[in-house]
Structure 1
């Protein structure tokens, strides 16, 4: 039977998108069956706990590279793995088994501000070269697939689109005690528009705040507060902006509320409380937060850039991310037209049903099996 070595560097680190993907895919693998066997018995999970890195004292980043490029291939060989699966953009350059790597996005290569040091640039070149050698690249979306073809110059025949899933436990929170506890924990207003995510430049928070300022001038006190949820950056960098500074520049004062970091278990209630979820991002490889909001019955307004139209479909209102006036128009529609908000809730919940972690795991497993019967795909 097929034996899979699984790179588990990000396992259970669910504060990151890669950590969520790794954890959910592995859990779904363990729930699948392969013939008469549980697929769990065919997995060899390789985590950093196997052996300490001899260069650990040089820092976590170098230890991570050591794990990816040395320890993981070594453990693959010891396990007699048929496939080396890396669920994020860091495949080994040399591997004893055909490598399958999931590429969620190419943010480090598309946005130069993320390559903030010579070492990061060197690392990006290393993993790019390794990805070109991989037997199969799994892309989170057709948008990411096109980026891989264009930027990494990988033949389309070696790329397969397999969508991530959405946590099946997500749904509208109706328990009043849970909702009020979440409202109190994050000091939330009675009605609010919500953004939840990071504050790097590609998230396009500046346009969102411009749109909100336009809307405030139109409607005044009828506009619900804007809640910006997520861990605030410690300092401003070429990749990270200071949202508080932008709030001041837009003269929005206390009309914008910052929650800080939000625990995973509180997100469903936060989405359920919000009047609408706003996601103006300039670039995503997939776009999980809008889908999570939709799963919780929250109307979504999202950017029409990169992967988002493909992933969201008709489950949300899609808007040009460069047009604050257009954002203000659509926000006004959702605030004033409760029938539209109800329709978006229904469309969102319906759309999310297309994404399942079990489906993701099943398609990955089928891809692994096809790989072993297609010699032209081997490295």
Structure 2
């Protein structure tokens, strides 16, 4: 099944009305999936595909975080904050369903991996990953139970299932029993790649600097990058590591490890920073390091490569598929191997 094969013929005589459900997206809290969503919205705003009309359903905080998009696409803020998952799920099954019917939407694309129990239009879902199956230890019992119920139901109840990589496609088919013909790989789009890649010829920092841009969640395995910095010090190599990204469930442990290894002068925790600041850090770095044990895609690697920045990533993930031979794949969980690779750069 490809193209518009799933759309009834009577709908093809007029513009197709598509809703996009972004109520799951709390700015600064969902990592690369926010980049995924924003890049696609900007792409649609730029291209304005003929015969398609888009309406985006967002949280008020998302509209505030991306005011430039509000002037370019049809924005409908939801009457909920998104801080409570239960309230958000209820709003999807009530407010969003009513909005879908009132606007006579032909289909709603649910970008957060689940679909409401009550829907006002046919559904398409994007499943970014199935980490909750691979690493259930990283999820609370309530969150894991929710995903174990709702992701398979979303796959069963959607016309199409979109995934960012072949890695995720295989997992959705093999582990969740999705029909292969209904699972399509749709990689994220990225802005300014050809312009950015010509800007970098070498790193500019006086002390070799590495950047790891990721929320401090357990599966991101910040300990590997931090441990690698301790190994570099042990080997007499001067280097710095910049950690960016909003605080996650492992944030306290990350900070305690830096203190325990006495790396305060070598590892800087900047937290969530503006895009322009991250780009500047990448441009001055030796490389991006990304030891995460699980990734469905890996937008950070693509963005770094687009700026001519070398990337080091853990093998066996969706990010490794994206990087392929353009970067260096390293064994997960081994700080000494990572330190050796970092020293070689």
Q: Which runs of 5+ in 1 are unaligned?
A: 181-187, 335-379
Alpha-carbon distance between aligned partners in 2 of 1:26 and 1:58, rounded to the nearest angstrom: 20
Gap change, CA 1:227 and 1:43, over 3 Å in 2:
closer
Gap change, CA 1:12 and 1:166, over 3 Å in 2:
farther
Q: 2:244 aligns with which of 226, 229, 246?
A: 229
Match of 2:45? 30
Structure 1 residue 257: deviation in Å? 2.3
Where do residues 280-319 of structure 1 align in structure 2 (5 Å cutoff)? 280-319=291-330
Where do residues 140-219 of structure 1 align in structure 2 (5 Å cutoff)? 140-168=164-192, 171=196, 190-218=207-235
Report the TM-score when normalising by structure 2. 0.79
Gap change, CA 1:247 and 1:58, over 3 Å in 2:
closer
Q: 1:20 aligns with which of 35, 42, 50?
A: 35
Alpha-carbon distance between aligned partners in 1 of 2:215 and 2:46, rounded to the nearest angstrom: 32
Alpha-carbon distance between aligned partners in 2 of 1:330 and 1:258, rounded to the nearest angstrom: 22
Contact 1:140–1:164 (CA<8 Å) still a contact in 2? yes
Alpha-carbon distance between aligned partners in 1 of 2:144 and 2:325, rounded to the nearest angstrom: 38
Contact 2:167–2:296 (CA<8 Å) still a contact in 1? yes
The number of residue pairs the alignment matches comes to 312
- After superposition, the CA RMSD in angstroms is 3.1
Contact 2:138–2:219 (CA<8 Å) still a contact in 1? no
| Cα-to-partner distance string for 1:311-366 (whole Å, 9 max, x where unaligned) | 012221111113333212211211xxxxxxxxxxxxxxxxxxxxxxxxxxxxxxxx
Higher RCO (CA 8 Å, separation ≥ 6 residues): 1
SS of residue paired to 1:314: helix
Gap change, CA 1:31 and 1:58, over 3 Å in 2:
closer
Alpha-carbon distance between aligned partners in 2 of 1:58 and 1:26, rounded to the nearest angstrom: 20
Alpha-carbon distance between aligned partners in 2 of 1:4 and 1:198, rounded to the nearest angstrom: 31
Alpha-carbon distance between aligned partners in 1 of 2:326 and 2:81, rounded to the nearest angstrom: 48
Contact 2:197–2:305 (CA<8 Å) still a contact in 1? no
| Cα-to-partner distance string for 1:208-260 (whole Å, 9 max, x where unaligned) | 22222222222x1x321222233345xxx5x6552122224444352222223
| Cα-to-partner distance string for 1:21-44 (whole Å, 9 max, x where unaligned) | 222222222333544x5x4xx123
Alpha-carbon distance between aligned partners in 2 of 1:198 and 1:244, rounded to the nearest angstrom: 13
More helix by share: 1
Match of 1:329? 340
